[in-house]
Structure 1
């Protein structure tokens, strides 16, 4: 199966999933066969390659000591295995680093939904003092001094060269190619009944039934791309704290997709839940104790077997065979 953009084939190395007799009720979770690229920034292999180099290049940080990949590490589901990622000043940032896996389908972006596009999103962490602490003026000058980068930008962006807009286009183009690979669950969706264990099938039935996880974690990415209050104790106002503040959005955060979720501990916007059992218990309990506000979760009865089955299902969403090699960066 090839993945296609609106006007070009995206050269990602996914293997075909043979279409067999499909288990009932799974079609809503079938992987798409195209990657959505905006009309004003269609897929271009060279631009995506350049964007990957920039994504892994510490030259995009003020002190040249961290890169985008420092907080979005492919080995950890494009997150980091700590509650709060460490910024350029060697201090924890405000929130847990969200995954950028399947970013082409995520809208809006950030935990609080304040960015409408990947191009807009990239500006935030690059320029935030507690994150990468850089300016595009300095980045442009730094990249222009690198002969190979100058040649790449002049060839790929004729008449524009290295500037804030082309840097953001390259980064966003690469990030739209970061797509989760085929997992056991996908083979099950396509009709291979032996692709997942029986415990995972029971877990899926719970997920879509009594536990009602699917009310927020729907579709092939397992997210509704909406904001929800899931009953965490916090002073962080979430989407309601975005200027201008909106009390209706207080404590609401973006529902993350669940692809490769087993690789992405700790969990939640604040990294407060260390493991999948802790997450599932949080939901089963209807949120943290002592939360007096009305939340979006109701809880459900779950014994240890139910929790084990749900985890078995979630583990089938992990792609264990996709490798993301680190690019060779141009020398100064």
Structure 2
């Protein structure tokens, strides 16, 4: 067992968008911060679709998800928080002095004055196809995520699902595949209106249909049978690749043992992103409150609310929020370095000369 006895103002559990922005914003609030991530890298659930194009982050042109992760991670480290990887926090105890002890699965201990829970969907497990023998095709051409679009170039692809990710994947794949067929068990799609309209133009959309059977040659799917839900009529299609996105099951594991109020959609929060345990806040997909926005941009807002709540918990006389970056003292020296022209002897100026 290892123990980090150093006491932090704030410890963030989870390194997805909400956790990363919490680490950045807590630096703006001059808080001694630690971020603990269960995996070996920052990014969280975004690593599920690294090739996906992200359009809806304010002020950023369309950007591939893997590049967005890199930029958010770079921003998260601006104020040099302590970052701990490969530790899953399984225990939270409030001590007699009001501080918290966080315990990791490996026995490591961390001490903090406040906590932000930013664990996203918890342990998110894919809802896999409930078709006998489907698992044998996973090594070849049955996919539950799209990691590399080039693999699908010129291929006949079937997409099963109707949520945002399924719709986005269908649109991305339509640009490289020979043909994209989408089957969804309902007539209406759960995705946003514009991407759904785009998908209906770019792909062969079948509703209400379900993927009924997989027909394989060895380890690869060669045909599929789809079934019309209302009539029971079946149709057999030739395919080269099958992509399934039927959503994820949420599992918050040990969080349910911490005494936190957890509803159907996550930790229940108050107006300052506070949980029912004073000093513990939450942000991102694991959190729910009135007006919750389930977008990456919404995770940033959650992070600001949670950090401000933690700051006021520590110091009720503190300002309700940080100054905007253009007026924040924390950036004065950094701005000077960024805006300083290269000297005549610098490598950059020499190259340009």
The normalised TM-score by structure 2 is: 0.28
Higher RCO, 1 vs 2 (CA within 8 Å, ≥6 residues apart): 1
Larger radius of gyration: 2
Q: Which has the higher helix share?
A: 1
Counting strand residues as a fraction of each chain, which structure ranks higher?
2
